[in-house]
């Protein structure tokens, strides 16, 4: 049984506009790294946000660990604990120190006491190399540091699945590498990851499978070698030509 299965997902924001998601189906196996690429407005981010229901899908099914999480009976807050999310704009809690950003979920959601939460938070910060920033405020961090805290905050909840929503798009080019190497390390530890990104390097080296989306649909999917170097679909070829030309 796959860890996550999405069936015929539809999202319509405004009936006057074309649907943001127009019948998307995919599966993610445990330990798999799935990278989603595509032009802006193709529905990649909407898809990712539907999976933890930050965006409510209009139609379709999302089966996570054998349970349809769109069922009104489901406690979505329980499900979200198992899905870590990393945002393009980091979204660190501005009024809390770095360590409290990580402790908040542990204490208020998982019900840990402060000592235990502090221990886990410090371990996470050490893993992303920011133990010395525990008492800083988010506004005092560089973009790269902030995103590493964002990753540490999500990982501290010990999720089964990690969702990355363009984690490097808001970073200065020289800071991208640090985030990518943390994500690769995670992939090596067999974390299940769903990554929306424009980093073709990461897709090539760390992904098990790559999906190309356009206009709310999955156009093509396959192993990174095949999809990134020899895609079948003309729309994929056109997109990759532009992206590769821009970044390399």
* CA gap 142, 171 in Å, rounded: 9
> Using CA atoms in the order 128, 39, 55, 105, what is the torsion angle rounded to 10 degrees?
0
* Residue (40 or 77) nearer to another protein, CB: 77
Residue 2 Cβ, how far from another protein at the closest point, in Å?
A: 22
For residue 25, state whether it binds another protein (rule: CB under 8 A).
Answer: no
Q: How far is the CB of 92 from another protein (least distance, A)?
A: 7
Strand partners, 61: 7
Q: Could you give the CA distance from residue 68 to residue 62 in angstroms, rounded to a whole number? A: 5
Decide: helix, strand or coil at residue 211.
strand
Residue with smaller CB distance to another protein, 158 or 181:
158
Name beta bridge partners: 220.
Answer: 212
Q: Is 57 in the site for another protein (CB under 8 A)?
A: no
**CA 21, CA 50: separation in Å to the nearest integer?**
10
CA distance 103 to 187: 24
For residue 86, how many C-alpha atoms fall within 13 Å in the half-sphere facing its CB? 31
Asked if 44 and 213 count as a contact pair (C-beta separation under 8 A), the reply is yes
Question: Cβ of residue 136: shortest distance to another protein, in angstroms?
Answer: 9
Backbone angles phi, psi at 137, to 5 degrees: -95, 150
Q: How far is the CB of 141 from another protein (least distance, A)?
A: 10
What residues between 201 and 230 interact with another protein by CB under 8 A? Answer: none
**Nearest distance in Å: CB 218, another protein:** 24
Quick check: 111 binds another protein (CB under 8 A)?
Answer: no
Residue from 109, 190, 205, 242 binding another protein (CB under 8 A): 109
Least CB distance to another protein at residue 248 (A): 31
- Closer by beta carbon to another protein, 45 or else 236: 45
Among 16, 66, 139, 234, binds another protein (CB under 8 A): 139
The closest of 59, 60, 62, 58 to 13, measured between CA atoms, is 58
**Residues in 144-173 at the binding interface with another protein, rule: CB under 8 A:** 153-154, 157
Structure tokens at 160: 């089964």
Q: 78 or 242: whose CB is closer to another protein?
A: 78
Q: Which residues bind another protein (CB under 8 A)?
A: 52, 54, 77-78, 80-81, 83-85, 87, 89, 91-95, 104-105, 108-109, 137-140, 153-154, 157
């Amino acid at each position: 049984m796959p860890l996550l299965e999405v069936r015929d997902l539809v999202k319509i924001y405004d009936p006057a506009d074309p649907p943001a998601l127009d019948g998307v189906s995919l599966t993610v196996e445990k330990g798999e790294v799935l990278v989603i690429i595509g032009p802006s407005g193709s529905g990649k981010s909407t898809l990712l946000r539907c999976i933890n229901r930050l965006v409510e899908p209009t139609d379709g099914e999302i089966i996570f660990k054998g349970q349809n999480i769109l069922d009104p009976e489901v406690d979505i807050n329980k499900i979200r604990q198992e899905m870590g999310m990393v945002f393009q704009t980091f979204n660190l809690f501005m009024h809390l120190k770095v360590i409290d950003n990580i402790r908040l979920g542990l204490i208020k959601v998982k019900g840990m006491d402060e000592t235990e939460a502090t221990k886990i938070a410090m371990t996470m910060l050490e893993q992303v190399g920011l133990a010395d920033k525990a008492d800083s405020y988010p506004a005092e961090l560089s973009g790269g540091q902030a995103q590493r805290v964002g990753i540490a905050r999500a990982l501290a909840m010990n999720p089964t699945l990690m969702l990355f929503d363009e984690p490097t798009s808001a970073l200065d080019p020289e800071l991208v590498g640090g985030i990518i190497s943390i994500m690769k390390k995670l992939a090596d530890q067999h974390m299940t990851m769903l990554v929306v990104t424009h980093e073709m390097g990461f897709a090539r080296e760390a992904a098990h499978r790559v999906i190309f989306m356009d206009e709310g649909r999955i156009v093509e999917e396959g192993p990174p070698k095949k999809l990134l170097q020899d895609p079948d679909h003309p729309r994929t070829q056109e997109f990759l030509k532009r992206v590769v030309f821009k970044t390399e």
